[in-house]
């Protein structure tokens, strides 16, 4: 798709032709008359040779002027020039809808994870091995006595080609091992990891040691061994290019046991589905200036991107410039691998800048800037003093330091060598050069580029310190990147490879020390190291970030309540903070960069509020693209490299940065405008990657070009002359293509025809975006209105997945929308999978008769995923009818009997045969051979293999999996069967007996239980109008309309003004129109004109009242109600908060805590019900003292205690007299029995251990 040839300037010419301020490359004869392009502003000059043949060399000229016109031409006329080609309002609406439909149809909702993982295995993993140094193995001790040549041998392992296949496993069939494909569904059922083998071509070279231990010369090689070795298994993402389901149709995938709703994007580790949550991190390869208030320090940091898994920490460390505010401000530079920061001026001396004038010019860029000069002069004087003392130290006593000697480059380099960490050598030039190499280690070549970048860092720091520029907004997404599955896997893979390399060294070094011949490579490579490291990271959740720090919250168990919960989980973005760091308020609050990229409504509450976000519907996460095409374009357009420029000329030049790296300048600002337009046109023409971001900062005089991964982008419609760039011809062509071509082809057509453009956060700051057609029409009428560059496809697409399917969202209170988008839609019951027979989840819910909502949004239609809404359409009446106060609702018993909101609950039980004991699945026996028999229900429910019969109903105490264990040292068998706990029951639905990849058997038994709505179950509409069932009435007792319609649900009218859910009223109104007209309606948020009036007229034509209210009769008396009742069809959801899962009860002999003797918590342990302070205050307010005593004392921890009423101290029992005796009073006459909570007695004992006694007053009561 992207084909840019550096040798061919045609592509550049096309881009220049499309740019308004750049003329095309034309023959020499065409310049007979001056060329005045539209919107003329110092265009590029086309330099031609003197011959008749035109030259194709493009040179950025300076102030191209016309001999006939010296003024700027008049601006173009506002409005379209061709009225016939202009799209009408209806056609423009069709265009916007068609673009959105193509976008969603050709793009998966989890494509960002799939694409990132594919790029990691296809490009990132081989690049990591290519950039790695290999494994260098040196003996730990000196020469071996008696060995010819003296020193021991040394070895090095080099990496070659890398190959990753698709997951497979080995099975035993008729005594023979066979290799078969491992499918995701099989990995789930057998508790296996869906992983692929990683093969690396490795070369072992053995060298003869000829004195220099660290040198590996090719002439010293005495032996070479090459082999392709499997170094471990790497988890494979489901539906990625390395998955067996990739490329299959939906029908073929379902035939292999895959769910039709499943989009992939997750991993399977030991049978459990794991998801890598995208991590929001600070962008690398950028300069960030911030003020540290605690230390009163200004600091500018720069961190490069690190790809290899080498152990050299310097390549991935940060470089920072620090300015401490004191009486004399001094600058210091922190470089990876140093013990402490070094003075800035000394580092410049080491880079070759000896004179103060050159140093000031390389930082200030302006010789007349006295403020910057005054800020840097103290650092120059301090550096001279430090180097003078160092010169006297290394030269010995009697030496004198001169101004010329202290500014010597070699002296500065030697000084840097003293700061090198873990240096084995004395301060030397080599050690200093190592330090300089660690400064901006990613920049190759000489010291010039490093000096320029360092100077720019200091310049930005000084400008911020002096108040000339603001601090970097670290919460803006232009300064952030999102690490997806590919980047996160690479971070963890580096750690795993570091462990493998250390293990290989430990295995090879003993052979080198004993002067033994090295074995083949397979003897030194342990496959389990990488495999276990990756699996452990997924299992425990501790993940290595880009900076090598462990971070939690990266791995999560995939939510499978419904497809909406699954997809929302895969589209989450979490702000990654190291454990000691606390997020600021600004990090939690949204800013303008969130628009169109982060959903403004779908936020978590609690500790993760503002930290855990969800991507907007049209948000695109960029992938990594090469820099070379961009650098070739810049070079062809005349960019000056840093080696060619003088620092004193930088102040008036335009700086060019590619991924934060300073690559060159343009001396004319108009040239920078031209190159920006050229790159944008090349991008629009698909000559370079469409996700490249080009932004110009006019204040900083810099052009920033980004090609890295992790940037949040979004598509926008291109606007030209205050109208959409898409014409009727495009629309006609698109209609034809949509019938024959794929959605991806149609989307590429829109990009190539410059109809749609993908912008990043930084580039979007320089664009003017219209929200809708009204903004464009307003700008066409006003000649002073600024020119729009882009237009939104639809404002509704700034929402996330959960909020985009809510009808009439803009009519509800924000908190109600948040509840529905973040909580209720993920807790609603529906069909969470289409292959329920092939899954063994711990628990699950399936709604019997899920329905599509009558009123939907355009996003719901275009996504073509009806499973995103989970619920049923119910006839809802809004009235007071008793038992529905506040949040409570009334439900029709007849509707429940007919199947309304009836669901099926699944619970899975797992068992395995352990390794370390003799254990196997079997039916327990009651004969003498079985010891330690447990009290159990009838064994007739079990088959001979120890598993229950299919269809058998099990309840509390029944055996779910029969298992026997051999006792140590005896021949008897112990019953180790699994029993159902309290509140657990159901009918056996499925029994699965299988084996893991290591051969030991596992068993899974699934129970099902049908549940119908009952009092206490929770329901909600799509507008956050939640409530629990307060009563279930018979149909004959409920109100009815004139047509005999009886509502399914009755809600209280007081719930609407309190929660401000006007959207539910409108949905009920529209739902009645849809039911009467049998046509589903689409309502999208933030539309220009509401369709409410139109639908009210349609409802009136159908014979109903315009507001949707009707006259109803009382179901009990049959009399007509005086007021009109609002009744309509509303989409309701049944949540997983059911009373059957929350009910608690315990008998008198329930378990208690060993220390406090109070009932334990946890429903499964037969724990008690919490009775807190609010419940206590409520009881006290009602004067229910007896009930309060019962709850806090009789049903908790009653305890009888004997106290002496005379001294008011507890007494003890004396066995000789067989009665309680007071040791203080030495008599038992005054001992009485009292009842107190055991916690009070425990408090008395704990106070007594502190030397504090508590006296108990007693009073005799009759």
**All CATH 2.40.270.10 domain ranges in the chain, comma separated:** 805-902+1014-1139
Q: What's residue 441's pLDDT?
A: 78
In angstroms, rounded to a whole number, what is the distance separating the alpha carbons of residues 692 and 912?
A: 52
In angstroms, rounded to a whole number, what is the distance separating the alpha carbons of residues 979 and 962?
A: 9
User: Which of 602, 522, 607 lies closest to 564, judged by CA?
Assistant: 602
Whether residue 1203 has pLDDT greater than 90: yes
Residue range 1184-1195: mean pLDDT, rounded? 92
CATH of domain 903-1011: 2.40.50.150
Residue 157, SS3 per DSSP = strand
In angstroms, rounded to a whole number, what is the distance separating the alpha carbons of residues 561 and 1135?
A: 10
In angstroms, rounded to a whole number, what is the distance separating the alpha carbons of residues 449 and 1111?
A: 82
**All CATH 2.40.50.150 domain ranges in the chain, comma separated:** 903-1011
**All CATH 3.90.1070.20 domain ranges in the chain, comma separated:** 620-798
Winning range, highest mean pLDDT, from 131-145, 158-172, 324-338: 158-172
In angstroms, rounded to a whole number, what is the distance separating the alpha carbons of residues 871 and 1021?
A: 9
User: Which of 799, 831, 833 lies closest to 817, judged by CA?
Assistant: 799
Q: What's residue 1099's pLDDT?
A: 86
Q: Encode pLDDT of 535-586 as tens digits.
A: 999 998 888 776 656 677 899 999 999 999 999 999 999 998 876 778 888 8
Q: Encode pLDDT of 449-487 as tens digits.
A: 888 889 999 999 999 998 998 988 889 999 999 999 999
In angstroms, rounded to a whole number, what is the distance separating the alpha carbons of residues 602 and 585?
A: 18
Torsion angle of C-alpha atoms 166, 172, 177, 182, degrees rounded to 10: 0
Q: What's residue 938's pLDDT?
A: 67
Going by C-beta distance under 8 Å and a sequence separation of 6 or more, which residues neighbour residue 88? none
Q: Place 22 in a pLDDT band, splitting at 50, 70 and 90.
A: very low
CATH superfamily label, 1144-1196: RNA polymerase alpha subunit dimerisation domain (3.90.1800.10)
Residue range 993-1010: mean pLDDT, rounded? 90
Residue 499 in contact with residue 726, Cβ under 8 Å? no
Q: What's residue 1066's pLDDT?
A: 92
DSSP 8-state assignment for residue 648: G
Q: Residues of 1176-1213 as b/e, b for ≥16 C-beta within 10 angstroms?
A: eeebeeeeeeeebeebeeebbbeeebbbbbeeebbbee
Structure tokens of 834?
């289409």
Residue 363, SS3 per DSSP = helix
Q: Place 612 in a pLDDT band, splitting at 50, 70 and 90.
A: very high
Q: Place 794 in a pLDDT band, splitting at 50, 70 and 90.
A: very high
Q: What are phi and psi of 433, to 5 degrees?
A: -65, -30
Instruction: Calculate what percentage of the chain has a pLDDT beyond 90.
Output: 47
In angstroms, rounded to a whole number, what is the distance separating the alpha carbons of residues 1114 and 1120?
A: 6
Average predicted confidence (pLDDT) for the chain = 84
Residue 341 in contact with residue 379, Cβ under 8 Å? no
Q: Encode pLDDT of 211-255 as tens digits.
A: 555 666 766 788 889 999 999 999 999 999 999 999 999 999 999
**Gyration radius from the chain CA atoms:** 38
Going by C-beta distance under 8 Å and a sequence separation of 6 or more, which residues neighbour residue 39? 20, 21, 75, 76
Question: Could you say which architecture CATH assigns to the domain 1197-1262?
Answer: Alpha-Beta Complex (3.90)
Residue 245 in contact with residue 256, Cβ under 8 Å? yes
Q: Encode pLDDT of 640-660 as tens digits.
A: 988 888 888 888 899 999 998
- Strand order across the beta sheet in which 272-276 lies: 267-269, 272-276, 555-557
In angstroms, rounded to a whole number, what is the distance separating the alpha carbons of residues 287 and 299?
A: 10
Strand-pairing partners, residue 201, are 228
Going by C-beta distance under 8 Å and a sequence separation of 6 or more, which residues neighbour residue 686? 1, 2, 748, 751, 752
Q: What's residue 749's pLDDT?
A: 92
Residue 434 in contact with residue 420, Cβ under 8 Å? yes
User: Which of 392, 50, 116, 444 lies closest to 265, judged by CA?
Assistant: 116
Residue 92, SS3 per DSSP = helix
Q: What's residue 73's pLDDT?
A: 35
Query: Spelled out in words, what is the top-level CATH class assigned to the domain 620-798?
Result: alpha beta
In angstroms, rounded to a whole number, what is the distance separating the alpha carbons of residues 1041 and 1180?
A: 45
User: Which of 825, 816, 879 lies closest to 1131, judged by CA?
Assistant: 825
Q: Encode pLDDT of 415-455 as tens digits.
A: 888 887 765 555 577 788 888 888 887 777 778 888 888 99
Residue range 138-160: mean pLDDT, rounded? 67
Whether residue 664 has pLDDT greater than 60: yes
Strand-pairing partners, residue 1240, are none
Q: Encode pLDDT of 163-199 as tens digits.
A: 999 999 988 777 788 899 999 999 999 999 999 999 9
Question: Is residue 296 classed exposed, middle or buried when 0-12, 13-18 and 19+ CB atoms within 10 A define those classes?
Answer: exposed
Domain 805-902+1014-1139 fold: 2.40.270
**All CATH 3.90.1800.10 domain ranges in the chain, comma separated:** 1144-1196, 1197-1262
Range name among 34-48, 148-162, 721-735, 1152-1166 with the lowest pLDDT average: 34-48
In angstroms, rounded to a whole number, what is the distance separating the alpha carbons of residues 250 and 255?
A: 9
Q: In whole angstroms, how far apart are CA 576 and each of 6, 553, 622, 805?
A: 40, 8, 19, 29
Instruction: Calculate what percentage of the chain has a pLDDT beyond 70.
Output: 86
Q: What's residue 51's pLDDT?
A: 31
Pick the residue with more confidence: 647 or 854?
854
Whether residue 149 has pLDDT greater than 50: no
- Say if strands 790-791 and 769-770 run parallel, antiparallel, or are unpaired: parallel
Residue 1018, SS3 per DSSP = strand
Pick the residue with more confidence: 939 or 794?
794
Q: What's residue 59's pLDDT?
A: 31
* Termini Cα distance of the chain: 97
Q: DSSP per residue over 391-409, as a string?
A: HHHHH-TT----TTGGG-H
In angstroms, rounded to a whole number, what is the distance separating the alpha carbons of residues 1021 and 1079?
A: 21
Residue 682 in contact with residue 692, Cβ under 8 Å? no
Q: Encode pLDDT of 800-824 as tens digits.
A: 999 999 999 999 999 999 999 999 9
Structure tokens of 122?
């296809």
Question: Could you say which architecture CATH assigns to the domain 284-473?
Answer: Alpha-Beta Complex (3.90)
In angstroms, rounded to a whole number, what is the distance separating the alpha carbons of residues 201 and 228?
A: 4
Q: What's residue 1039's pLDDT?
A: 96
Q: Encode pLDDT of 1206-1244 as tens digits.
A: 999 999 888 777 788 898 898 888 899 999 999 999 999
Whether residue 401 has pLDDT greater than 60: no
Q: Encode pLDDT of 1074-1107 as tens digits.
A: 988 767 778 888 886 667 788 888 888 888 888 8
Q: What's residue 812's pLDDT?
A: 94
Residue 274 in contact with residue 569, Cβ under 8 Å? no
In angstroms, rounded to a whole number, what is the distance separating the alpha carbons of residues 501 and 494?
A: 10
Torsion angle of C-alpha atoms 629, 635, 638, 641, degrees rounded to 10: 130
In angstroms, rounded to a whole number, what is the distance separating the alpha carbons of residues 481 and 487?
A: 11
In angstroms, rounded to a whole number, what is the distance separating the alpha carbons of residues 630 and 691?
A: 12
Residue 1086 in contact with residue 857, Cβ under 8 Å? no
Give the containing element (helix H, strand E) for 487. helix 485-513
In angstroms, rounded to a whole number, what is the distance separating the alpha carbons of residues 239 and 191?
A: 19
In angstroms, rounded to a whole number, what is the distance separating the alpha carbons of residues 557 and 263?
A: 16
pTM: 0.86
Whether residue 927 has pLDDT greater than 70: no
């Amino acid at each position: 798709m992207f084909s840019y040839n550096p040798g061919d300037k045609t592509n550049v010419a096309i881009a220049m032709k499309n740019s308004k301020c750049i003329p095309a490359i034309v023959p020499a004869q065409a310049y007979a008359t001056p060329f005045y392009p539209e919107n003329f502003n110092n265009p590029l000059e086309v330099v031609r040779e003197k011959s008749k043949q035109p030259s194709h060399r493009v040179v950025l000229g300076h102030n191209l002027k016309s001999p006939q016109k010296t003024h700027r031409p008049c601006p173009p006329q506002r409005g379209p020039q061709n009225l016939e080609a202009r799209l009408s309002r209806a056609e423009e609406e069709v265009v916007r809808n068609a673009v959105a439909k193509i976008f969603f149809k050709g793009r998966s909702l989890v494509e960002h994870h799939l694409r990132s993982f594919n790029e990691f295995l296809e490009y990132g993993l081989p690049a990591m091995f290519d950039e790695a140094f290999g494994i260098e193995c040196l003996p730990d001790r000196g020469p071996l006595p008696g060995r010819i040549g003296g020193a021991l041998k040394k070895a090095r392992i080099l990496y070659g080609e890398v190959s990753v296949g698709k997951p497979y496993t080995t099975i035993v069939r008729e005594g023979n091992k066979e290799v078969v494909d491992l499918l995701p569904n099989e990995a789930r059922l057998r508790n296996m990891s869906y992983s692929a083998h990683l093969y690396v071509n490795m070369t072992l070279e053995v060298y003869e040691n000829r004195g220099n231990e660290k040198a590996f010369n090719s002439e010293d090689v005495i032996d070479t061994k090459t082999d392709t070795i499997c170094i471990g298994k790497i988890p494979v993402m489901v539906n990625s290019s390395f998955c067996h389901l990739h490329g299959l149709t939906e029908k073929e995938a379902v035939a292999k046991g895959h769910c039709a709703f499943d989009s992939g994007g997750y991993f399977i580790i030991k049978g459990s589905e794991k998801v890598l949550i995208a991590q929001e991190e600070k962008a690398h390869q950028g300069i960030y200036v911030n003020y540290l208030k605690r230390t009163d320090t200004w600091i500018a940091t720069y961190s490069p991107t690190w790809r290899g898994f080498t152990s050299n920490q310097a390549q991935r460390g940060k470089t920072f410039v620090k300015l401490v505010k004191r009486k004399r401000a001094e600058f210091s530079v922190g470089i990876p691998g140093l013990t402490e920061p070094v003075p800035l001026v000394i580092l410049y001396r080491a880079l070759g800048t000896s004179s103060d004038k050159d140093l000031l010019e390389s930082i200030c860029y302006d010789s007349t800037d006295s403020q910057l000069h005054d800020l840097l002069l103290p650092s120059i004087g301090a550096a001279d003093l430090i180097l003078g003392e160092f010169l006297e130290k290394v030269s010995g006593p009697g030496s004198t330091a001169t101004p010329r000697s202290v500014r010597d480059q070699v002296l500065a380099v030697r000084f840097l060598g003293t700061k090198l960490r873990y240096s084995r050598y004395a301060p030397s030039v080599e050690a200093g050069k190592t330090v300089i190499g660690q400064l901006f280690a990613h920049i190759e070549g000489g010291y010039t580029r490093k000096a320029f970048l360092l100077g720019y860092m200091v310049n930005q720091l000084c400008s911020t310190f002096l108040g000339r520029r603001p601090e970097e907004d670290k919460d803006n997404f232009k300064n952030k990147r999102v690490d997806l599955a590919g980047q996160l896997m690479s971070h963890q893979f580096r750690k795993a490879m570091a462990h493998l390399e250390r293990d290989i060294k430990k295995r090879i070094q003993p052979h080198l020390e004993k002067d033994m011949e090295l074995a083949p490579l397979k003897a030194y490579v342990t496959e389990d190291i990488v495999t276990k490291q990756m699996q452990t990271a997924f299992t425990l959740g501790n993940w290595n970030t880009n900076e090598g720090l462990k971070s939690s919250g990266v791995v999560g168990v995939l939510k499978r309540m419904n497809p909406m919960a699954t997809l929302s989980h895969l589209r989450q973005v979490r702000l990654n903070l190291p454990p000691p760091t606390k997020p600021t308020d600004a990090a939690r609050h949204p800013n303008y960069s969130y628009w169109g990229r982060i959903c403004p409504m779908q936020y978590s509450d609690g500790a993760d509020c503002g930290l855990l976000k969800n991507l907007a519907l049209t948000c695109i996460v960029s992938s990594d693209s090469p820099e070379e095409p961009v650098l070739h374009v810049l070079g062809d357009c005349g960019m000056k490299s840093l080696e060619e420029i003088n620092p004193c000329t930088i102040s008036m030049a335009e700086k060019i940065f590619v991924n934060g790296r300073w690559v060159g300048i343009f001396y004319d600002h108009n040239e920078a405008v031209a190159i920006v337009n050229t790159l944008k046109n090349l991008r629009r023409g698909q000559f370079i990657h469409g996700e490249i971001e080009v932004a110009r900062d006019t204040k900083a005089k810099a052009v920033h070009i980004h090609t890295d991964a992790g940037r949040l982008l979004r598509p926008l419609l291109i606007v030209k002359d205050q109208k959409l760039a898409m014409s009727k011809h495009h629309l006609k062509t698109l209609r034809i293509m949509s019938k024959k071509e794929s959605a991806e082809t149609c989307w590429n057509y829109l990009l190539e025809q410059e109809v749609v453009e993908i912008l990043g956060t930084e580039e979007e700051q320089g664009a003017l975006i219209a929200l809708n057609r009204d903004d464009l029409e307003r700008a066409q009428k006003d000649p002073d209105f600024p020119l729009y560059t882009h237009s939104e496809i639809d404002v509704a697409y700034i929402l996330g997945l959960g909020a985009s399917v809510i009808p009439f969202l803009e009519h509800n209170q924000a908190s109600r929308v948040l509840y529905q988008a973040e909580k209720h839609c993920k807790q609603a019951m529906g069909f969470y999978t289409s292959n329920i027979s092939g899954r063994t989840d711990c628990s699950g819910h399936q709604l019997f008769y899920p329905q599509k909502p009558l009123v939907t949004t355009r996003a719901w239609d275009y996504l073509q995923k009806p499973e995103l809404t989970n619920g049923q359409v119910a006839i809802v009446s809004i009235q007071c009818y008793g038992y529905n106060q506040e949040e409570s609702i009334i439900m029709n018993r007849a509707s429940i009997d007919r199947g309304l909101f009836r669901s099926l609950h699944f619970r899975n039980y797992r068992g395995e045969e352990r390794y370390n004991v003799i254990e196997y699945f079997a039916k327990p026996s009651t004969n003498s051979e079985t010891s330690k028999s447990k009290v159990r229900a009838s064994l007739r429910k079990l088959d001979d293999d120890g598993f229950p019969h299919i269809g058998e109903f099990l309840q509390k105490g029944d055996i779910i999996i029969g298992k026997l264990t051999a006792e140590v040292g005896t021949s008897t068998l112990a019953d180790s069967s699994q029993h159902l706990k309290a509140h657990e029951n159901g009918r056996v639905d499925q029994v699965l007996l299988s084996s893991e990849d290591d051969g030991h058997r596992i068993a899974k038994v699934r129970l099902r239980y049908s549940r119908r709505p009952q009092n206490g179950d929770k329901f909600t509409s799509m507008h956050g109008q939640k409530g629990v069932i307060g009563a279930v009435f018979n149909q004959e007792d409920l109100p009815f309309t004139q047509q005999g319609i009886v509502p399914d649900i009755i809600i209280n009218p007081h719930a609407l003004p309190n929660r401000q859910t006007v959207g539910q009223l409108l949905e009920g109104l529209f739902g009645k129109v849809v039911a009467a007209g049998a046509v589903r309606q689409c309502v999208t948020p933030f539309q220009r004109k509401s369709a409410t009036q139109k639908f009210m007229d349609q409802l009136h034509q159908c014979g109903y009242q315009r507001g949707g209210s009707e006259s109803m009769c009382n179901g009990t008396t049959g009399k007509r109600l005086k007021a009109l009742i609002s009744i309509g069809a509303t989409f309701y959801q049944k949540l997983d908060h059911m009373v059957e899962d929350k009910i608690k009860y315990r008998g008198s002999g329930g378990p208690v805590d060993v220390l406090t003797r109070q009932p334990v918590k946890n429903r499964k342990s037969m724990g008690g019900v919490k009775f807190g302070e609010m419940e206590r205050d409520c009881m006290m307010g009602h004067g229910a003292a007896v009930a309060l005593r019962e709850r806090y004392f009789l049903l908790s921890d009653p305890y009888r205690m004997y106290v002496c009423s005379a001294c008011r101290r507890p007494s003890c029992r004396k066995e000789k007299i067989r009665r309680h005796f007071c040791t203080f009073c030495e008599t038992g006459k005054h001992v009485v029995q009292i009842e107190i909570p055991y916690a009070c007695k425990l408090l008395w004992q704990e106070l007594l251990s502190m030397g504090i006694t508590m006296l108990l007053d007693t009073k005799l009561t009759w």
